[in-house]
Structure 1
Amino acid sequence: MKHLCYSLFIILLFSCNSKTSKNTVEDFIYSKADVVLTINNTDNFKSNTANNHFIEQLSKTKPYTDITNTLEVLSRFNFNQRLYISLFKNKEDSLDYSFTTKVNDSTFSLDSLELTKTAVKLKNINAQKITTKQHTLYVALQNNILVGSNNKQHLEYLFNHKEKTEGLKKIIATQDKDASFSVYTNNTVLQSPFYNPDLPFKSFSKYLTFDTEVNQNKLVLNGFTKSNDSSSLINVFKNTLPQDNQLAQITPSNSNGFLSITFDQFTTFKSNLNTIYPSDSVAIDQPLFNNIIEFGEIYTNSSNAVVLNSLDIIETNEALLSQKDLIETFRGVSIFKFTKPKLFNQLLKPFVTLDNASNYCIIDQFLIFASNTETLENIIVNYQNQTTLNDRDYYNDIKKGLSSQASVLQVINPFGLEQLVQNNSQSKQKFDFKNYKSSALQFIYDTDFAHFNAIINQSKTSISNNSITEMFNIKLDHDVLNQPQFVKNYRSKQMDIMVQDVSNTLYLISNDGKIIWKKQLHGPILGQIDQIDIYKNGRLQYVFATQNRVYVIDRNGNDVSPFPKKFDDNITQPLAVFDYDNKKKYRLFVIQDNNVLLYDAKAKPVPGFKFNKTEKTINTPPKHIRIGRKDYLVFKTNDKLHILNRRGKTRVKVKIDLNWSDQPVFEYNSNFITSTTDGKIATITEKGNVSVGSLNITDKHTLASTTKTLISQYNNKLNIKHHNLELDFGNYTPAKLFYVNNKIYVSTTDTQTQKVLLFDSNGVLQDHFPVYGTSAIDLDNIDTDNNLEFVTKGESNSVLVYKIN
């Protein structure tokens, strides 16, 4: 799996016991593993990690490629159950691994042209040896549990050894089964999650576990860490309460970041720290710290600064009466000489690295110490100009995903993130992190463990009014098959994206670019996907037809019984879904050549609907039109227009038979309107009278309409109401009409020049169009702001979402 190595490498950035019988998948997790990777859905894992920019940057490093190559053979398996991968170093200090999962019939559908399978007898187990050109893997089964390893002695160990795994199993049990994936790591792998090299993870805690959510521009990690060893730094927060982290208020936006440490009682914190890093007892009693609830270090390219946050700045200032040797006054702020420059490094190490705090100033409740006046002046300028991190949108954006109170909070800029990655990968590789304006991690101490949160986020480009910005660009596993469309998310009250690829896989993608699930279908979807509330409880399902099936799928990607309903004869038109009285009493119309079949939401034929087959093939999906209080069921063949009542009986007898096009029938000015094969517009009244007019369109045309707005298109001619537009010569998709926020929009895409066009109802091209796109669009407001978004196909295998600002 190409991107399995991501989660193993990400821990390099941040990276109990009773005998049990082995009857569960979790029993075969190697308890002494350095890393355990938990993947809940391998397809989604691969897709989401493949689309993430940060992971793409990590793929340049040697540790990443080493892990990728080691795990390459696992890509030949079809895992569809929760998968655990354990990694560890062998005696030769090389990487070994094992994995375990539930087995099914498709797991062993391996490519025989590229690998070989051989039965082998290991100690007390029958196994298979799987060999590729570069790798060898040993696998065995027990109780429908598949276990494998690249080391046959280790596989024997897993089956024959009764490990003490209860501690690790309890940790694994806390992982979120809805997460993209989860990671457990001990303290031997992760170098340090901190910008400060004096804070290695090995001395910080015993292990770390976290769940990971991945979308195109962001990684969110949530988990916890714990160590029963009193020498672990995480335990210096024992018997303390985290406070609000306020250092961002004083940290310049041109700094590399900051580290914030909080507590409710400094004496408790210092007493805990002193058991690990003893310091001068005289220094401990410094009255300077009596009211301090937060301290930290601001990182800059030249010299760092130490900050103390006081609850009572007047009393704290009094503790500095002997330190009032004025150096200068800068912008109204006094800068003094500090005669104990090594105090903080001695007293607060390893959290503070500055060993020459020879100058200080006071700003509001903050005392700032540095080795030179230039560093203090920069802090003063940014604070007064309101250009601190706390004033930046990108910091406030990530702050929404963090706790406001944390024992430890680290925030770093692109340079800090690059330094962190380079230090952990032991590489000088350059990375494109320029848009990662602010990345953060925090530890929140709670009784005998600490919660862990981290966000690595590409900041959004500054957006001006009246502009169009690309929200995300998601790559699918295969080329896009149909036009992407928006669907309602009943949980968030926003919208998601659905699209199918050429392998007939259906994707549900969130409006922030995360692939939620993928589902293999039996064929291409005909037309659009509709949504229904089959249980009448507000939870929407997706409903559509393929060539031989009608599907109803729930929000989680599961089939809703008794669907899918299978048909022997081909379905020849998109599924039509009606709810005549808006009472969620759904009717599903299935067209098979010249036959109309009607089903209810339980896939049962609707009694009372009587309609004989048409003489010729039906060339449009059935459509429900209500004029006044009357319902009409409308569809066409190439020589007859059928206007029926709910029971399938003729309601309107059309008095003239014409050569009808394959364009839909619409309600227009309280009449029916459609077109003929030669491009004429036909209006039909409720009494069946027909009038034919001309819009100067040809036989190769498309039609769309609301009750008051008619649009037609042929070649490069686009007619919107009475506005006739002549577009550049090209290959245009059928024009689509959208009614959003009480305004009409019309869109078409030139697939030859790959340009999306959007007009209003007066034929006026909207500002900043055309934009890049290769398919028709879907347009709507998909999130919580008032701006519209649209989705289109990008490259052959990608889906693009834009925001119109």
Structure 2
Amino acid sequence: MKFKIIAVLFLLVCISCTTNEQTKTSILDYIPSNTTTLLKINDYNSLTSEIKNNDFLTDLKKSDLLKTYQESVTLLDYAEPSAKGLLAFTKTNDTTDFFFITKDSINLNRLDSLNTTKSVLDYISTTYTKTTLDSTAYYSYKENEYTILSSSKNLIENTINNTVEARLNSNTLQKLYKAASNNKSGTLFLHTQNNFLLKNTLPKDTITNTKTIDWMSLDINTKQTQLNLAGITVTNDSVLTILSLFKNTTAVANRAQEYAPENTEAISSYTFTDYNTFAKNRINYIVKDSLQDSIFNTVEEIALITINSKKAVLLQTFGADNIDEHLNTFKKAESNFKDSQIKELNKNTILTEVFSPLVEGFKSNYYTIIGNAFIFSEDLYTLQDIISNYKNGTTFNKTPLYKSATETMAKQSSILRIADAKKLKQDLATNFSNSYKDIDLENYFFAGQLVADANFYHTNFTIQKINTETEANTTSPIFTVQLDNDLATNPQFVKNHRTNKKEVIVQDIENNLYLISTDGKVLWKKQLEGKIQGEIAQVDLYKNGRLQFAFTTNNQFLILDRDGKSVEPFSITYKGGNLNALAVFDYENNKKYRFVVTQGDKVFMYNNKADIVSGFTYTKASSAIIKKPKHFTVGNKDYLVFMLEDGSLKILNRVGKVRVKTSKKIAFSTNDVVLYKDKFTVTDTTSILHQIATNGKTAATKFNLIKEHGLDATTNTLVLMDQNTITIKGKKVTLDLGMYSKPKIFYINNKIYVSVTDLQNQKIYLFDSNADPIQNFPVYGSSLIDLADVDNDKKLELVSKDLDNSIIVYKIN
């Protein structure tokens, strides 16, 4: 008997332990139970850059969630996280905390170099660390292969305690997490209760009392003026929710925008293929006696239209006669407006009785019919306004706002809401704080969309600026991107071989190299050991159309692939450093590259396999080489030109032998050697222009230039910059007083462009080959520029340094 009692007690203890403590088998098992928002980070650097450079999110920094996110990012930036992890936000009373977990390494020791204090705490025979940074406490803990950081001591201790109650247990979330894309910089998992995005998409009167829908998974896709979130919302079959209204129905094309006036503030549209199914779902949802009127069985869209704070309701049908006959039984009066009949009703609850909760608190006093659409209003003027705009063709579907919204939205929606800046600002103030009523949301709009599909909904939300068509003959900014630190190099366009478009590459003063997409996203950030010398060259090492980035730093020759990874064996370090910029020669344009690295008086020439080219004999110069060597072709001959510190200009052939003898020593200016009129052309510090012909003959021309003058040239175009005077093909243009960069020539689409930047006043000038200014210049910028047709539309884009830590890209129309 005693044995049986002991056995039962043992079994109860085992069951109790199983209930309260559970082995963690995945990263989600660590997530706290009161998590309301979960961010799956696929690329930390890219995601933080997207958020930092999104105008709307920048304006939202006052919200609790964004404040907490900024706190977490501050710590993670110091800790140098690698690419992936989960960032959870928990809500306890009025406090929002973060909880970050990663399997990848975090350099917590880097925090020691900051103004921090550390202490080790004990809890249940386990230790964790408290770090105080700028009077804010953070907590860190390691378990198995995971590292955890949090702003909450309780969250860390709950993790150590390992109780089931402390964890977020959701089968829905597990499924969504497994299905989430790894190609986006991040995926947002939102608990749908009290969710701002749903609050502004679903009928407002259903939100307060609605039961939890469950979780939604949204991939993050941002541009500077656009926040787009697209993914899936899951419903629980055992729980009736507002989305239950659309169960077993299919969305049809929304058409309310074809009738709404162009000054519409908001549209909420609901569609279904089968009214009878919708009506049955509605009765189940309301759970009370309710009218299911078969008169409306031809309705396939219900839409609420807000105009000047007044409401109208539209019923789109595929047969109007029966409904019109039914409504005529309640007709009180009839009038004519612009050849449209307007009927006044003596019963104003017709719509709320049949279509609640989608239509609530609406008095259907008037209606008219346009085609197969019934449009109801509370006051006569609103209905007249709709009729007037429809007759005039000034409808909402023709507005830039609607056209912008449809760029990211499907044509068919079970639920669609579009709201202008005024409504968006009101919603922000209502849901977050009254302080948001003062933020500048001019030209912004909100669009939310859910499309029914089995037991889930394809979901799409966007908050963005209206895309207005760019006027001809303008130069306008496309985007700016803020980096983590000040710029160290001039931004440069590089080709994306996958899209055949251009992107931007730039380095900051902490030696981080950034690749930035054509819409302003940081694709990756890579830490280098030193500053890049000169420009980055793009090469196709394997002759397969895939391009790599080749360059030197102070002490390294590196080639990186498209994703920023080193291409071995091209990772060569030179003792003593002091490298010049990399020179890349492709004599026959057949991708048999020669990479030339110069260090002091040493010359290293490599082939595509990083082997030294044994046939090249010029491996040591008579004096230090002061600039990267240049390759020119004149006729059918190649010329390799080296500028030496002792004033020698060495002009060699492919194997390093002297091709043109030069004996004159030149006190070189800071300008490169250029080829002008088939002559090797340089200037000296006394502003003399020296030219050496291919037969060795020399000529010198004295110009009245300052020592720090600028020079660039093509075969037939010579450009000189002297103080505030630019000379192009002999034609002088005097600019405003300033401190000017060297001129830079671009040859694009058979046309020459000449650029120069006033670094003091931060103005960029652009001229053609006849010294005529390009229209709408100067524009703002503070560095040398790069110019290219980025998206192959025959219109040029320009990139420049903006502020000390940001770049700006313009489009020239």
Q: Same fold (TM over 0.5)?
A: yes
- Describe the shift of the 1:528–1:315 C-alpha distance in structure 2 as closer, same or farther (beyond 3 A): farther
Q: Where do residues 215-364 of structure 1 align in structure 2 (5 Å cutoff)?
A: 215-228=223-236, 229-277=238-286, 283-287=291-295, 289-313=296-320, 317=324, 320=327, 322=329, 327-364=334-371
Q: Would you say the 8 A contact 2:738–2:759 is kept in 1?
A: yes
Instruction: Report the CA distance shift for 1:606/1:324 in structure 2 as closer, same or farther (over 3 A).
Output: farther
Residue type of the alignment partner of 2:350: L
Q: Distance in 2 between matches of 1:60 and 1:93?
A: 15
> Please, which of 639, 642, 652 is the counterpart of residue 635 of structure 1?
642
Q: Tell me the CA shift for residue 220 of structure 1.
A: 0.9
Cα offset, 1:108, TM superposition:
3.3
Q: Given the two structures, how large is their TM-score scaled by the length of structure 1?
A: 0.91
Partner of residue 55, structure 1 = 57
Matched, 1:168 2:173: yes
1:187 aligned onto 2:192: yes
1:104 aligns with 2:111: no
Moved more, 360-369 or 735-744: 360-369
Secondary structure at the aligned position of 2:360 is classed as: coil
Match of 1:400 among 399, 407, 422: 407
Q: How far has the Cα of 1:628 moved from its partner?
A: 2.6
* Aligned ranges 1:542-553 → 2 under 5 Å: 542-553=549-560
Structure 2 residue aligned with 1:33, among 7, 32, 35? 35
Distance 1:473 1:490 in 2: 23
Partner of 1:727: 735
Are 1:575 and 1:589, in contact at CA under 8 Å, matched by a contact in 2?
yes
Q: Deviations over 1:58-92 (max 9, x none)?
A: 123456446656886555432224121223344x6
Q: Deviations over 1:588-645 (max 9, x none)?
A: 1111122211112332222311114221222231112122322222222252222222
The amino acid across from 2:383 in the alignment is: L
Q: Give ranges in structure 1 of 5+ residues lacking alignment.
A: 1-16
Q: CA deviation at 1:428?
A: 5.3
Q: CA offsets, 1:351-390, max 9 Å, x none?
A: 2235211111122342211111211122222223333221
Q: Distance in 1 between matches of 2:311 and 2:109?
A: 56
Residue 784 of structure 1 deviates from its aligned partner by 4.9
Residues 447 and 462, structure 2, Cα contact 8 Å, conserved in 1: yes
Against the structure 1 CA distance between its residues 642 and 20, is the aligned structure 2 distance closer, same or farther, given a 3 Å change threshold?
farther
In structure 1, C-alpha distance between the alignment counterparts of 2:335 and 2:381, rounded to whole Å:
11
CA distance in 2, matches of 1:28, 1:294: 44
Q: Tell me the distance in 2 between the aligned counterparts of 1:481 and 1:791.
A: 15
The answer as to 2:587 corresponding to 1:580 is yes
The 3 A distance-change label for structure 1 pair 107 and 42 is farther
Q: Distance in 1 between matches of 2:376 and 2:106?
A: 66
Describe the shift of the 1:569–1:67 C-alpha distance in structure 2 as closer, same or farther (beyond 3 A).
Answer: closer
Which residue pairs with 2:719 in the alignment? 711
**SS of equivalent to 1:486:** strand
Write the distance in 2 (CA, Å) between the matches of 1:129 and 1:730: 53
Per the alignment, in what secondary structure is the counterpart of residue 35 of structure 1?
Answer: strand
Q: For structure 1, which segment, 340-349 or 317-326, has the greater mean C-alpha deviation from structure 2 after superposition?
A: 317-326
Q: What SS does the corresponding residue of 1:276 show, helix, strand or coil?
A: helix
Per-residue CA distance 1:130-168 (angstroms, 9 max, x = gap):
344644443221233112444445434334336656553
C-alpha distance in structure 1 between counterparts of 2:327 and 2:353, whole Å: 18
TM-score, normalised to structure 2, is 0.90
Task: Supply the AA of the counterpart residue of 1:155.
Answer: I
Comparing 723-732 with 124-133, greater Cα deviation is found at 124-133
The separation in 1 between residues aligned to 2:797 and 2:84, in whole angstroms, is 35
Supply the RMSD in Å over aligned alpha carbons. 2.8
- Say if 2:670 and 2:708, in contact at 8 Å, map to a contact too: no
* Residues 575-584 or 325-334, more deviating: 325-334
SS of aligned partner of 2:281: helix
- In 1, the alpha carbon distance for the partners of 2:217 and 2:415 equals 17
Does 1:203 find its partner at 2:211? yes
CA 1:457–1:143 in structure 2 vs 1: closer, same or farther (change >3 Å)? Answer: same
Letter in 2 for 1:412: A
Alignment of 1:613 with 2:620, yes or no, is yes
**Which letter does structure 2 place at the counterpart of 1:494?**
K
* Residue aligning to 1:484: 491
Distance 1:800 1:151, change over 3 A: closer
**8 A contact 1:76–1:111 mirrored in 2:** no
CA contact (8 A) 1:18 1:166 kept: no
Is the CA contact 1:310–1:316 (under 8 Å) kept in the aligned structure 2?
A: no
Deviation, structure 1 residue 536: 2.3
Cα distance 1:339–1:516, how it changes in 2: closer, same or farther (>3 A)? Answer: farther
1:517 aligns with 2:524: yes
What is the distance in 1 between the residues matched to 2:607 and 2:114? 48
1:432 maps to 2:432: no
The counterpart of 1:416, out of the listed 407, 420, 423, is: 423
Contact 2:39–2:189 at 8 Å: present in 1 too? yes
Change (3 A) 1:262 1:621: same
Change (3 A) 1:724 1:333: same
Give matches, 1:790-805, under 5 Å: 790-805=798-813
- SS in structure 1 opposite 2:416? strand
Does the 8 A contact of 1:181 with 1:211 survive in 2?
Answer: yes
1:695: Cα distance to partner? 4.7
* Structure 2 stretches lacking a partner, 5+ long: 1-18
Q: Give, in whole Å, the separation in 2 of the partners of 1:716 and 1:74.
A: 46
Which amino acid counterpart does residue 200 of structure 2 have in structure 1?
F
Range with bigger deviation, 29-38 or 391-400: 29-38
Deviates more, 1:152-161 or 1:709-718: 152-161
Q: What's the CA shift for 1:497?
A: 1.4
How far apart in 2 are the matches of 1:673 and 1:114? 55
Superposed counterparts of 1:657-696, under 5 Å: 658-696=666-704
2: CA distance, partners of 1:493 / 1:431: 42
Identity %: 34
| CA offset digits 1:243-300 (Å, max 9, x no partner) | 112222222221211011111111112211220125766x42242x232221110123
State the distance in 2 between where 1:718 and 1:95 align: 58
Change (3 A) 1:235 1:606: farther
Kindly indicate whether the alpha-carbon contact (under 8 Å) linking 2:428 and 2:437 is maintained by their aligned counterparts in 1: no
Q: Cα distance, 1:324 vs. partner?
A: 6.4
User: Match of 1:721, as an amino acid?
Assistant: K
Question: Secondary structure of 1:418's partner?
Answer: helix
- Give CA deviations for 1:511-549 in whole Å, capped at 9, x if unaligned: 222222222111111111111122322222222111011
Give the AA of the match of 2:375: I
The question of whether the paired residues in 2 share the 8 Å contact of 1:778 and 1:792 is answered with yes
**C-alpha separation between the residues in 1 aligned to 2:345 and 2:654?**
89
Match of 1:12 in 2: none
User: Is the Cα–Cα contact under 8 Å of residues 73 and 135 in structure 1 kept in the other structure?
Assistant: no
**Number of the residue aligned with 1:9:** none
Give the letter for the 1:786 counterpart: K
Task: Sort the Cα spacing of 1:336 and 1:804 in 2 relative to 1 into closer, same or farther, 3 A.
Answer: same
Q: 1:470 aligned to 470, 477, 493, which one?
A: 477
Higher mean displacement: 496-505 or 24-33? 24-33
More deviation in 417-426 or 747-756? 417-426
> Could you tell which deviates more after superposition, 38-47 or 241-250?
38-47
Residue 777 of structure 2 corresponds to residue 776 of structure 1: no
Residue 45 (structure 2) pairs with residue 43 (structure 1): yes
Amino acid at match of 1:174: A
